[in-house]
Amino acid sequence: MKLVKLFFLITLFFIIVPSKANIEEPDILIKRLTDEIIVFSKTDKEMLSGSKSRVIEIINKKILPYVSFKRMTSTASGRYWRDASEDQKLKLILEFKKLLVFTYAGAISKIKNQEVQFKPIRMEPNDTEVEIHLNIMKKRGDSFQISYRLEKTDNGWKIYDVNILGAWLVETYKAGFSSEIRKNGLDGLISLLNKRNKNLSEAFDTQIK
């Protein structure tokens, strides 16, 4: 009986805990996600009709599981993060998540029939952070770059910053966050982000939970 229980526990462990060998490499992960988004942009009727709410829906389903919003928010908040209460941290993460989704959705909605060119990854076997760069190629030869910063976690690689049109989003927001916190405190920043997200919700005609 004890052997049966032991076998069951060992089996359960390997079912629940993913093998490191099965962790998707960061460049493979980004390529897969990008390919999926491209397919949707070319075939999804709602996206083709210009539905912004559909873009948000796809991002929620396809992209968000691979994003570290806690790291994004703590980095953007800088030194003020350690002084925030748990309630303030949760509210900041939620509002910053909404803001980033709306920003990313704006970039994704521009993708129509473009081709994607991935740049070679520079990565050592033991690296726990990496950058992935890709160009979105337009028919006329124009292009714009999207880059991702990822960190290796126990649950696989997670995105913690995105560069759209030459600007890293987290770094871009960091200066503005610091200025607002100095003037109105953490609650002031939360209120500002909440108002901004309400306006974006109206523009995109959708709500982000």
For the chain, give every domain's residue range: 34-204
Token code pair at residue 35: 């390919």
Mean of pLDDT values over 26-51: 88
The reported pLDDT for the residue numbered 202 is 84
Q: Cβ(93)–Cβ(170) under 8 Å?
A: no
Give per-residue pLDDT as tens, 48-105: 888 888 888 888 888 999 999 999 999 999 999 999 999 999 999 999 999 988 888 8
CATH topology assigned to domain 34-204: Nuclear Transport Factor 2; Chain: A, (3.10.450)
pLDDT at 22: 65
Cα separation, 180 vs 188, in Å, equals: 7
Say which range, 25-29, 33-37, 74-78, 138-142, has the weakest mean pLDDT: 138-142
Average pLDDT, stretch 12-18? 38
Tens of pLDDT, residue by residue over 150-190, are 999 999 999 999 987 788 989 889 999 999 999 999 999 99
Q: Is residue 84 left, alpha or beta, with left meaning phi > 0 and alpha meaning psi from -120 to 50? A: beta
Helix ranges, the chain (H): 2-16, 26-43, 45-48, 52-62, 69-77, 86-108, 169-204
Structure-token pair, residue 191: 């209120």
- Average pLDDT on 139-157 reads 86
Work out whether strand 167-168 and strand 129-137 pair parallel, antiparallel, or are unpaired: unpaired
